[in-house]
Structure 1
Amino acid sequence: MSRLRLMSKAAGGRVAASFACRLVDPNQSGLGDSPDQISSASFHRYDFHDVYLVRRSELEVRAVLLGEPKNAVASDAGPPPSVPSSDLHRQFGELLRSQKGADVTFHVSGESVPAHRSVLATRSPVFMAQLYGHTKEASTSAPCMEVKDMEAEVFRAMLRFIYTDTAPELERSGWQVTAMAQHLLETMDRYGLERLKRMCEEKVSMDISVSNVTTTLALAEQHGCAKLKANCIEFILAAPKNLFALAATEGKEEKEEMKS
């Protein structure tokens, strides 16, 4: 072992040093064939840095004595297998699709939609209160609950998010997707699904236009969507033509209402 120590006080508090060491055979002339051991370090005063040296012959002896570890893996075995990605959302999606073990049924717009109380209650504080509240008793029979003022398609999309934490309906484009996002946004306050609410808010923000900015702004006001509201105001103030077009659109709507 070779040791290097800084003895004097370094300017600025630290000093960097690089040094080389080599084993020397006293029985041979010259420096021998031992390779240099080069090391670098940064020192405070009185710091030290060690460099360890060993002869090649000693390493060979140690390798023979120790042998190969029992759990050694062949060098040509390749990289270890990667961990599969999580498919939890697919498994819960299959649970929703198969309806196995469903213990609650919702009646939505004339359709029956089975679901699982434990999943709903885990994901939504509102469902927790409705399904396991103080006034509710656990029952072996599947209870039925009526959902008013919501389309069955929208309710199914909400359930899919509850089970899988995804909303594939929002991943496409077009006015139908924006309409679905608006409907979901209108119902999210009822079930406390904040993440889905933010996803819908972002989707609606991407499709603000002169024809829908007024209704979108009202939607944002109604449901406390600060970001969506700010985007609507920014759209209106972005260019004078937006203000003129908006005024013309509102005037046309007022005339149609008067005729009707």
Structure 2
Amino acid sequence: MAAAVADGELSRSTIVSDRVRGRHLLTIHGYSDTRITAPTGKCVKSRPFTIGGHRWRIGYYPNGLSSAVEDHVSLSLVLDEDVAVAVKAQFAFCLAGDMDECEEELWQELSLTWSPVRDFASWSGWEHPKFIKRLDLQSSGHLNDSFTIRCDIIVFHDCRAVDDAAAFVSVPPCDLRQNLGELLENEKGADVVFEVGSKIVCAHRCMLAARSPVFAAKLFGPMKEGNVEGVVRVEDIEPDLFKALLHFAYTGSLPETSNKEDQDAVYQQHLLVAADRYDMGRLKLICEEKLCKYIEVGTVATILALAEQHRCEGLKKACLEFLTAPNNVRALVATDGFKHLSTSCPSIMVALMAMLRIS
């Protein structure tokens, strides 16, 4: 008898290309000084950093790459190593944003600004001659004699064969942040009620205890707070700030606000105080970073006092660096904020008096 022949059998194989993406933040301090010390065509290189298994540097041209673009800030990305085969990569530069945005949204936002896929040979790079006009930078709200550049890089690796399952299964990005945000918003399963001013806010004890040791002590410790109805009263904080604090506890990000620049500076100061009060370290650092952008003659005294009182070393250093400019420290002395600083933070006055003697 002849052997039976199977009919309709199907086999599959899959070839994929690996890619690795990453980001580097380069902060330029003393922008006005860099314009003096680096003439047109001269760049200052960043420290080396690694993305996709390769070492890179960013070149910063404060007066442009050439005379044709001397009214611009120019940038370059350089492969800072010896390679046998050129590295294929894409890159995008932008000013670092003010929001703690969702990671996937950041990449979508950059989708229209990526360079073409480039070949990076050993020690070579590609330029972005017209990154931003200096006048646009100065009016952007990002510049306070310092600003931060975000460089996003995608490195493409070789193609390879993979198991067939990869042809059928596509794993979406993690949506935990969205899920937890919705949990806070719809209050499903909430087991603690906060009375904040005239507002009632519901939340979940375990979530808050996991995110803040202060909440853990208040909600589960031997001296846990709450009346017979289980209501916890919260003093000395505005309802909107407390809701922002909870939003960060659930999602690791801050809700969007419509605050103007001067309002946002005050908002970030109050939020920093709340973050310190509830021992939420990452939120406190985010507030510090944002407040660094609002340091000027009219605000430096208040921000410096805040930094000293709440042990914000990075913010304190940023304020003192701003005051190394003789004109800035002299202008500070003439403000009402200086009087407040002298009474609230006498230890700071020693450093300021030394700066005045030097200037």
User: What TM-score range do you get, normalising by the shorter chain?
Assistant: 0.5 to 0.7
Unpaired runs of at least 5, structure 1: 1-69, 255-260
- Match of residue 109, structure 1, among 194, 197, 200: 197
- Match of residue 212, structure 1, among 291, 296, 299: 299
- Match of residue 148, structure 1, among 216, 221, 235: 235
Q: Superposed, which structure 2 residues align to 1:1-260 within 5 Å?
A: 72-74=11-13, 82-136=170-224, 143-169=230-256, 174-237=261-324, 239-250=325-336
CA RMSD of aligned residues (A): 3.3
Equivalent residues of 2:207, 2:250 under 8 A apart? yes
Deviation at 1:172, TM superposition (A): 7.8
The C-alpha deviation readout for 1:169-197, integer Å capped at 9, x for no partner, is 48987222222211111112221100000
Equivalent residues of 1:89, 1:165 under 8 A apart? yes
SS at 1:146 equivalent? strand
Measure the CA separation in 2 of the matches of 1:198 and 1:181.
Answer: 11
Q: TM-score, normalised by structure 2?
A: 0.46
Letter in 2 for 1:215: T
Measure the CA separation in 2 of the matches of 1:251 and 1:159.
Answer: 32
Measure the CA separation in 2 of the matches of 1:234 and 1:219.
Answer: 16
The verdict on how the C-alpha distance between 1:71 and 1:225 changes in structure 2, with shifts beyond 3 A counting, is: farther
Deviation at 1:152, TM superposition (A): 0.5
Equivalent residues of 2:332, 2:338 under 8 A apart? no
Letter in 1 for 2:236: D
Equivalent residues of 1:169, 1:177 under 8 A apart? no
SS at 1:168 equivalent? coil
The verdict on how the C-alpha distance between 1:173 and 1:136 changes in structure 2, with shifts beyond 3 A counting, is: closer
Deviation at 1:130, TM superposition (A): 1.1
Equivalent residues of 2:272, 2:287 under 8 A apart? yes
Equivalent residues of 2:193, 2:231 under 8 A apart? yes
Structure (1/2) with the larger helix percentage = 1
Equivalent residues of 1:124, 1:192 under 8 A apart? yes
Which is bigger in relative contact order (C-alpha 8 A, separation at least 6)?
A: 2
Partner of 1:58: none
Letter in 1 for 2:304: L
The verdict on how the C-alpha distance between 1:101 and 1:72 changes in structure 2, with shifts beyond 3 A counting, is: same
